[in-house]
Amino acid sequence: MKARKLSVLLFGAALLLSSSAFAKEKTKATLELSDPVTVEGRTLHPGKYTVEWTGSGPNVQVTISQGKNAVATIPAQLAQQASPTRNDEYGTFTTADGSKTLTAIYIGGNRSYLEFQQSEARQQSSTNRSK
């Protein structure tokens, strides 16, 4: 009887630990901009930002913060690439006037990346990947 209770307890603990491992999917990244970039019409200046996203499935809501202040909120697609990115990186494209628009954030140590479909980006075909 004790062995049965112990096995049920161990099974329950293993199940709990495995579900918490899945629940800890990374939903936060660091974004360090080396150039000014535009996000939904707002310019983010060079510096360090925190990126957090919420949502299930491929559609997520991304909040970009500097310190404790949210500076931009934008919808994105959470997509997968073939191999993990070593560091947190970002992708941009350069518009005709020379300004850069944020198109993606690549999450360090993960195959996931955030893809943005901003109104200006929809008209541009090439993406520059930079850090």
Range with the poorest average pLDDT among 25-29, 78-82, 88-92, 114-118: 25-29
Mean pLDDT along residues 67-78: 94
- List the domain boundaries for the chain: 26-130
Q: Give the angle 25-30-35 at the CA atoms, nearest 5°.
A: 145
Tell me what pLDDT residue 126 has: 41
Per residue in 74-99, pLDDT tens?
A: 999 999 999 998 988 999 999 899 99
Q: Give the angle 85-86-88 at the CA atoms, nearest 5°.
A: 75
Instruction: Return the closest-CA partner of residue 100 out of 46, 49, 61.
Output: 46
- Nearest-angstrom CA–CA distance, 131 and 114: 15
- Nearest-angstrom CA–CA distance, 21 and 1: 31
